[in-house]
A and B are shown apart, each in its own frame.
Chain A
Amino acid sequence: MSASARHSLLPLLIGAGFVLVPLITGGDVYAVNLAIRIMCLAIAAIGLDLILGYGRLVSFGHAAFFGAGAYAVGILSTHGFTSAPLLIGAAILAGAALALPIGAVSLRTRGVYFIMITLAFGQMLFFTATSLSAYGGDDGLSLPARATFLGTDPFGSPLSFHYVVLALLALVYLGGRVLVASRFGRVLRAGGEDERRVIAAGFPITAYRLVAFVIAGGIAGLAGGLYAEFTEFVSPAYLSWQRSGEFIVMVVLGGTGSLHGAVLGAAGVVLLEEWLAEFTEHWRLIFGPLLVLAALAGRDGLARLLGRGKP
């Protein structure tokens, strides 16, 4: 099979899989909820893949933008807003708006320093969230109600939630494909391979990376907002560095720079977590080494990725 055929067949299969989950399982709530969780995280992972997979910038603060979207929905909900477009729009905006200053500062650095500074910003926002005493502080806050849309209840039942998130996932995926193939995407991809070359070609590469970073932040915000609607709950844990790490693992596990790989990676991580958690509550002890092995064995092992960080 040619590379291009694989590039369009696999995403179709993945999409079909998500369409069929509720039908195959007869609408089993556990299975459908699992699929919703995977899709929410997959949306965020696609955002990360744009900058990590194509731009080769290892952002270790992606959960901050995910959390920003979740808190935007949570906070607006507690103030009585229920319009789904408003809440989701606010989530996207929150992620993007936060990514702008963080990206502007972080993108001045390279390689390991970029990882460290994005991690530092992520932690800063994590502790900011824990100090939001009006909105639950450490404990987080529960959403008083789910969002509505024109009198309907899109997030009301698992089934309609499933297809709404699936539609948004498809939209983000296709949007990502278009972006990567555009003029902008070419500059971003080339910069991931050789920054000096791209500057010598006449591009202010940092500006392009910043735009990609903000887009990725907005996508993570969307994912976080949906996740808040899904769990009807928001807490600082959404912004934890462990979650940032999980996003990286999803992208790397699925194969960087393909977008649908991020979706597979999200599915892999969530299913593995679920499966291991059945055996032992110390599942992370097994999960961690498994991920390290996967990263080392994979063609896009972390080591190779980090080696690219240097200009």
Chain B
Amino acid sequence: MSLASCAAPPVLQLQGLVKHYGRLRVSDDVWLDVAPGEIHALIGPNGAGKTTLIGQIAGEILSDSGRILLGGVDVTGERPHRRVHRGLARSFQITRLIGGFSALENVALCAQALDGSSFRFLAPVRRDAGLNATAIAALVETGLAERADIPAGRLSHGEKRQLELAMALVASPKLMVLDEPMAGLGKAETQAMIAVLRRLAGQAAILLVEHDMHAVFALADRISVLVEGRIIASGPPDAIRADTAVRAAYLGEEA
């Protein structure tokens, strides 16, 4: 038996996920694995069901049938906040930050979620050295340390994207689900984000939903293509590039 087959189970397994909205099948028997340490890109045209699928993985949308496993554990019926404690972190397509909190406090909030009970009513949390140190480390990783004290609402769009990443990262997740982290970024910012994600890949597996094909092909170990709620192809970038069904359904638009 090879060493690989004894290795840890996939960090994420989707097994036949189905979700209907009325008569529309938004997720149609979706099967997908993300291996530890892998960057797995999920691409597909607008309306393919990517955002719904992320909602199902995160637990905000309950699936009609199928199973979701995180690190081999069935979490299909679990609430979103429980899944975070199983090693899932996510970012949002449209940045969601606590605008009135500083960048540091946003990250510290996420660190706090995984640092024991937050039903603590006495000690002032801003002076919690442990949380702050953890948060600073995550900000350093994403290149935002110098902006730690700026209210999140006043950061630039690109910085907000970096901050979201730091908030996902600080939880030391097994899997990060990133919903279009490059959306709205300029060319230089996109390059910087690609570099950061490449660096993070060693720490956590990433399920990357992204429209920027340059970024996808630069980063992904594997690519799955979602069209009308179905995975029509899954494999290494070169295979996907060559896949005729994919070219017809999707890449053809741009190639």
Q: How many residues of A contact B (CB 8 A)?
A: 25
Q: Say which residue of A186, A199, A203 sits within 8 Å of B125 (CB atoms).
A: A186
| B85 at the binding interface (Cβ < 8 Å) | yes
CA gap between A182 and B109 in the complex, in Å: 11
**Could you say which residues of chain B place their CB within 8 Å of the CB of A198?**
98, 109
Complex contact B90–A193 (CB within 8 A): no
6 more contacts with CB within 8 A, not counting A186-B112, A201-B84, are A182-B121, A183-B123, A186-B108, A193-B98, A205-B81, A208-B119
Binds A, one of B42-50, B99-107, B187-195, B227-235: B99-107
Q: Report A260 CB to chain B, min CB distance, Å.
A: 18
Cβ–Cβ contact A182 & B125, under 8 A: yes
| Contacting residues, chain A, for B97 (C-beta < 8 A) | 194, 197
Identify the closest chain B residue to A177 (Cβ): B124
- Are the CB atoms of B98 and A202 closer together than 8 Å? no
Q: How far is the CA of A204 from the CA of B59 in the complex (A)?
A: 13
Asked if residues A190 and B101 are in contact (CB atoms below 8 Å), the reply is: yes
CA distance A193 to B100 in the complex (A): 8
Which residue of B is nearest A257, CB measured? B100
A-B contact pairs, 10 of them (CB 8 A): A181-B124, A182-B120, A182-B122, A194-B97, A194-B98, A197-B96, A200-B96, A201-B171, A202-B85, A202-B113
Question: Does A211 make an interface contact (CB < 8 A)?
Answer: yes
Q: For residues 156 through 208 of chain A, which have their beta carbon under 8 Å from a beta carbon of chain B?
A: 178-179, 181-187, 189-190, 193-194, 196-205, 208
Contact A178 B121 (CB under 8 A): yes
Are A196's CB and B96's CB within 8 A? Answer: yes
The 0/1 profile, CB within 8 Å of A marked 1, for residues 76-117 of chain B is 000111001100001010001111110001001110111000
- B interface residues, tally (CB under 8 Å): 34
Interface residue ranges, B against A (CB under 8 Å) = 58, 60, 79-81, 84-85, 90, 92, 96-101, 105, 108-110, 112-114, 118-126, 128, 167, 171
Are B124 and A203 in contact (CB-based, < 8 A)? no
A200 to B60, CA, bound (A): 9
Kindly state the separation between the CA atoms of A202 and B114 in the bound complex, as whole angstroms.
Answer: 7
Report which of B81, B101, B118, B122 forms a contact with A199, defined as CB distance below 8 A. Answer: B81
Bound: A182/B121 CA distance, A: 5
Q: What are the 5 closest A-B residue pairs judged by CB atoms, nearest first?
A: A202-B84, A202-B113, A197-B96, A183-B120, A181-B124
Residues of B within 8 A of A182 (CB): 120-125
Question: Which chain A residue shows the least CB distance to B90?
Answer: A200
